[in-house]
Amino acid sequence: MSKPMFINFHVAVPDENAAKSLAEVAFKLGYRVSTYASAECSLPWTCECSVRMLGSHENVLAVQCELAELSAEFGGHPDGWGTFGNGPSGQPPAL
């Protein structure tokens, strides 16, 4: 956790339009985004927002708070986060 890595933050939203709208806003803020139906989550759609960062408690909490504020407008809320680590298999190719 001492080196930067991509961390994927999952935001539950009520429908596909909300997921796409949130993805637009998050993309403009520098997140890598994807949207997908997610029947196993608390709401039926997810907007995944990924960012390269140090995985400290403070940093994760700051992103969770930012995404909570952003997603409230779309009827959503943060619904967990995860990472594949900072090794080569855990990092997506550069844009």
Q: How far apart are CA 48 and CA 81, in angstroms?
A: 9
Question: Which pLDDT tens digit goes with each residue over 8-59?
Answer: 999 999 999 999 999 999 999 999 999 999 877 778 999 999 999 999 999 9
Query: What pLDDT was estimated at residue 46?
Result: 96
Per-residue pLDDT of 70-83, as tens digits, reads 999 999 999 999 98
The model's pTM? 0.87
Amino acid at site 74: F
C-beta of residue 82 within 8 angstroms of C-beta of residue 6: no
Does the pLDDT of residue 5 top 80, yes or no? yes
